[in-house]
């Protein structure tokens, strides 16, 4: 039984830990609920913490001690580096003696939610006469390169936040640099003081703000330990569901931290199990692009650019604004695109459903963290293959290509007017059969839900892919051997190496009896067993009158190397495969998500068989795909990558990803007995938040008093109703 939140009476049991109401308000609005945990909530929290520990998310004492030693060693190196530069620049002996630099942490380590093997985000703070370009990226780089403990040294000087990546005694480190406007850096420097931002450039501000934002987050949450447990849980969930990647257009560590912190503010007395459930409940209903803010946006005489949609036209294009709480307040999630926002909203719906079942004791925490089956969620994919001559070149080349994948998504969205949706998967794969060093990225493709495929319709994304290829090949550190190849593959052509043990997951065919097995209710719209069975049985027989019936394929076969590379074992930058991309997706298609074992069995029973007819290979030339020529239903409708494709849409196709337990996008149905009350209460809170852009004073800043009064009035009306 879930907690009786918002019911007017206290649901806290006698043996629950006493929690006094918070002495101050957290956030820009009043809490949604002050309710504390029930006995069941406390038990679920214990189960959650045990699951996280059993999953290996907590760092051991030995590794924790090693991190401290590495930080101390790194700080000593940068102190000596600054003293050396001070002497070389001709300063006095006293200045050399007083010269100093600091190493401070940020990110997951500073927030206290890092796990085993996590990167260590660090910032070097140096004096004003030590610059980033020649001193940090050249002199310090040479010092680190000469150390035996340092491996995989990779400077990225042209990044939005310039960084030097390397491993120090096996610990992965991201090292930033900030030159503050002081001749001597004090040991007890307070980076939360806005004075550290005086007379510095914007890359320095962005570097410093990593630490400043982390400190502000910890100050703005009611209970730091509850926040940490909840954030550790949500980060693990995001990684399992393929959503943890800022570079590819999803969300990174700071984004998840800000989202979790806002939910903690809304439910200040909730324990982690409640906060996880409320997280999905809140963000399935959040009206993007209204911003998530932990505190009011403050202006300062320093004049740095702030996130301000009314003043900055570019800020109006942001789809999922998550605003940092430290000056200058900025949108930390500007990388999010229409397609990646859609994917995240689907996954929030999935998480909301599972948490509803957990609250009703119908499921367990393990079901929430089932990995997302990306390669079963789409029929069509772009495969981006990259190769390089050696390990260091591949690491640099791979990082560059991955950082440009977001641009490919934006280009396809732009050129197809948003009708072709992309899902870049934030994971790289390695083909062990390639003789050259190789990595591959994949991107799922599907027609936008609600877009009707018309006769002969097609998506031509040749220009998009070509533009992406030219963008990638403009890499200023390009070396011979760095090549890229983009090709279209269908689900049955997915290479073996992306699957565990190199085996493709079997997808058994369904019998008519299975189709008629059980009734389905989707959001109150009842579908009788007969109707449901007949509908899917009819789909299984396409207009060609041929029953699609194929044997199971446990092993998949990678396309021959020659078909991808034109006879060369390595890919060439200029290669573009000519292939049709099927764009005709079911209008009611809800991409499959792996739930509990029982639900996965239902999914297996409902998956349709694939056609046994092979599609055209990835070779140059003109490819024609027609529904009348015995092609797979996946071939109905098309898009162009590298050649002209002609297609028709006269054939029927199987709805291969529909599930009885699917959650329809956009529906905010909640699980539990108190859902009606909770949803009304939450909606009353979110509606004024969604209108927050209207409550601006003459200076263009948020008028929090007006916003608060609106919230109180809305909550009062809800209570009266």
pLDDT at 686: 55
Residue 298: pLDDT band with limits 50, 70, 90: confident
Task: Look at residue 603 and tell me whether its pLDDT is greater than 90.
Answer: no
Dihedral sign (CA 640, 608, 496, 569):
negative
pLDDT at residue 439 in the model: 93
Dihedral pair phi/psi, residue 558, rounded to 5°: -70, 150
Condensed to tens digits (0 to 9), the pLDDT of residues 324-372 reads 999 999 999 999 999 999 999 999 999 999 999 999 999 999 999 999 9
Lowest model confidence (mean pLDDT) among 35-49, 264-278, 299-313: 299-313
Is 537 or 260 the better-scoring residue by pLDDT?
A: 260
Provide the pLDDT for residue 23: 52
Report d(CA 61, CA 181) in Å as an integer: 38
DSSP helix/strand/coil, 56: coil
Query: What is the predicted pLDDT for the residue at 255?
Result: 97
The mean pLDDT value for 17-27 works out to 59
pLDDT digits (tens, 9 = 90+) for 435-488: 889 999 999 999 988 777 666 677 889 999 999 999 999 998 899 999 999 999
577 preceded by a cis bond (ω within 30 of 0) = no
- Which of 25-29, 119-123, 328-332, 653-657 is predicted with the least confidence, judged by mean pLDDT? 653-657
Has this prediction a pTM greater than 0.75? no
**% of the chain with per-residue pLDDT over 70:** 66
CA distance 485 to 482: 11
* Mean predicted confidence (pLDDT) in 264-291: 96
Contact in structure between 105 and 211 (CB atoms under 8 Å) = yes
Provide the pLDDT confidence category of residue 107 given band limits of 50, 70 and 90: very high
Three state DSSP letters for 233-272:
HHHHHHHHCCCECCCCCCECHHHHHHHHHHHHHHCCCCCH
Number of C-beta neighbours around residue 141 at 10 A: 17
Contacts of 61 (CB under 8 A, 6+ apart): none
Residues tagged active-site:
108, 119, 121, 174, 235, 244
* Cα separation, 576 vs 472, whole angstroms: 14
Q: What is the percent of the chain with per-residue pLDDT over 90, rounded to a whole number? A: 57
Mean pLDDT is lowest, of 201-205, 210-214, 479-483, 497-501, for: 497-501
Residue 50 pLDDT: 96
Q: Is-contact 341 283, C-beta < 8 A?
A: no
Mean residue pLDDT of the chain comes to 75
For 448-519, strand residue ranges (E) read 458-460, 483-490
Nearest alpha carbon to residue 693 among 288, 159, 256: 288
Compute the average pLDDT of residues 189-194. Answer: 92
Taking residue 362's Cβ as centre, other Cβ atoms within 10 Å add up to: 12
The contacts of residue 132 (CB under 8 Å, 6+ apart) are 157, 162, 177, 179, 203, 204
> pLDDT for 535-586, tens place per residue?
343 344 444 433 333 333 334 444 433 333 333 333 333 333 333 333 333 3
SS3 676: helix
Give the pLDDT band (50/70/90) at residue 303: confident
What pLDDT sits at residue 242? 95
Q: How far apart are CA 721 and CA 717, in angstroms?
A: 6
Q: How far is CA 607 from CA 311, 506, 517, 629, 659, in A?
A: 50, 10, 14, 24, 9
Mapping DSSP to helix (H, G, I), strand (E, B) and coil, where does residue 384 land? Answer: strand
Contact 388, 428 (CB under 8 A): no
Q: What is the 3-state secondary structure (H, E, C) of 145-177?
A: HCCCCEEEEEEECCCCCCEEEEEECCEEEEEEE
How far apart (Å, rounded) are the C-alpha atoms in residues 120 and 172?
Answer: 6
508-516 long-range Cβ contacts below 8 angstroms, 24+ apart: 508/552, 508/604, 508/605, 508/607, 509/549, 509/550, 509/552, 509/608, 509/609, 510/536, 510/540, 510/605, 510/606, 510/607, 510/608, 510/609, 512/537, 512/540, 514/605, 515/540
Task: With a cut of 80, say whether residue 28 has pLDDT above it.
Answer: yes
Q: What is the pLDDT of residue 530?
A: 36
Between residues 191 and 591, which one has the greater pLDDT?
191
């Amino acid at each position: 039984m879930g907690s009786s939140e918002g019911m007017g009476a206290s649901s806290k049991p006698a043996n629950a830990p006493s929690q006094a109401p918070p002495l101050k308000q957290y956030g820009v609005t009043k809490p949604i609920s002050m309710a504390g945990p029930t006995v069941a909530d406390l038990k679920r929290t214990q189960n959650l913490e045990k699951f996280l520990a059993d999953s290996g998310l907590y760092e051991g004492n030995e590794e924790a001690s090693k991190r401290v030693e590495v930080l101390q060693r790194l700080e000593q190196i940068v102190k000596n580096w600054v003293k050396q530069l001070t002497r070389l620049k001709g300063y006095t002996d006293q200045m050399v003696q007083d010269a100093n630099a600091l190493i401070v942490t940020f990110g997951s380590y500073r927030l206290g939610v890092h796990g085993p093997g996590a990167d260590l985000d660090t910032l070097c703070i140096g004096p004003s006469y030590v610059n980033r370009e020649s001193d940090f990226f050249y002199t310090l780089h040479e010092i680190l390169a000469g150390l035996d403990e340092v491996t995989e040294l990779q400077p990225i000087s042209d990044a939005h936040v310039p960084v030097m990546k390397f491993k120090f005694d096996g610990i992965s480190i991201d090292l930033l640099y900030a030159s503050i406007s002081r001749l001597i850096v004090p040991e007890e420097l307070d980076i939360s003081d806005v004075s550290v931002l005086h007379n510095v450039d914007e890359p320095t501000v962005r570097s410093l703000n990593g630490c400043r934002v982390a400190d502000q987050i910890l100050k703005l949450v009611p209970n730091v330990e509850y926040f940490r447990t909840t954030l550790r849980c949500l980060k693990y969930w995001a990684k399992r569901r393929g959503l943890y990647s800022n570079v590819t257009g999803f969300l990174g560590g700071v984004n998840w931290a800000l989202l979790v912190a806002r939910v903690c503010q809304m439910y200040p007395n909730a324990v982690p199990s409640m906060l996880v459930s409320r997280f999905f409940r809140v963000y399935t209903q959040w009206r993007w692009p209204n911003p998530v803010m932990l505190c009011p946006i403050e202006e300062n005489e320093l004049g740095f650019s702030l996130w301000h949609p009314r003043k900055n036209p570019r800020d109006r294009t942001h789809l999922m604004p998550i605003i940092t709480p430290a000056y200058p307040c900025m949108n930390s999630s500007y990388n999010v695109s229409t397609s990646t926002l859609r994917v995240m909203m689907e996954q929030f719906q999935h998480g909301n459903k599972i948490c509803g079942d957990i609250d009703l004791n119908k499921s367990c925490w393990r079901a929430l963290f089932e990995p997302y089956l990306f390669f079963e969620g789409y029929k069509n994919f772009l495969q981006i293959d990259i190769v390089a001559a050696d390990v260091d070149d591949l690491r640099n080349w791979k990082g560059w290509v991955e950082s440009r994948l977001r641009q490919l998504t934006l280009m396809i969205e732009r050129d197809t007017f948003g009708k072709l949706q992309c899902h870049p998967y934030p994971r790289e794969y390695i083909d062990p059969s390639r003789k050259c060093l190789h990595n591959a990225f994949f991107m799922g493709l599907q027609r936008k839900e609600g877009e009707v495929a018309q006769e002969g319709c097609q998506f031509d994304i040749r220009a998009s892919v070509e533009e992406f290829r030219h963008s990638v090949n403009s890499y200023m550190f390009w070396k011979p051997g760095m090549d890229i190849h983009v090709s279209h593959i269908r689900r049955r052509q997915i290479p073996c190496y992306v699957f565990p043990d190199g085996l493709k997951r079997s997808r058994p065919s369904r019998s008519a009896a299975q189709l008629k097995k059980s009734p389905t209710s989707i959001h109150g719209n009842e579908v009788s067993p007969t109707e449901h069975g007949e509908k899917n049985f009819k789909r299984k027989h396409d207009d060609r009158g041929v029953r699609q019936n194929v044997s199971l394929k446990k092993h998949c076969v990678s396309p021959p190397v020659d078909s991808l590379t034109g006879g060369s074992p390595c890919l060439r930058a200029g290669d573009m495969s000519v292939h049709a991309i099927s764009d005709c997706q079911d209008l009611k298609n809800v991409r499959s998500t792996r739930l509990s074992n029982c639900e996965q069995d239902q999914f297996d029973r409902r998956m349709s068989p694939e056609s046994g007819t092979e599609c055209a290979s990835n070779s140059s030339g003109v490819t024609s795909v027609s529904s009348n020529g015995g092609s797979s239903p996946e071939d109905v409708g098309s898009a162009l990558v590298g050649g002209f494709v002609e297609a028709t849409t006269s054939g029927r196709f199987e709805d291969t990803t529909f599930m009885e337990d699917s959650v329809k996008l956009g529906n905010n149905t909640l699980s539990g007995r108190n859902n009606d009350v909770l949803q009304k209460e939450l909606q009353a809170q979110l509606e004024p938040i969604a209108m927050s852009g209207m409550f601006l004073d003459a200076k263009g800043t948020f008028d929090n008093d007006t916003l608060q009064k609106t919230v109180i009035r809305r909550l009062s009306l809800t209570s009266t109703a």
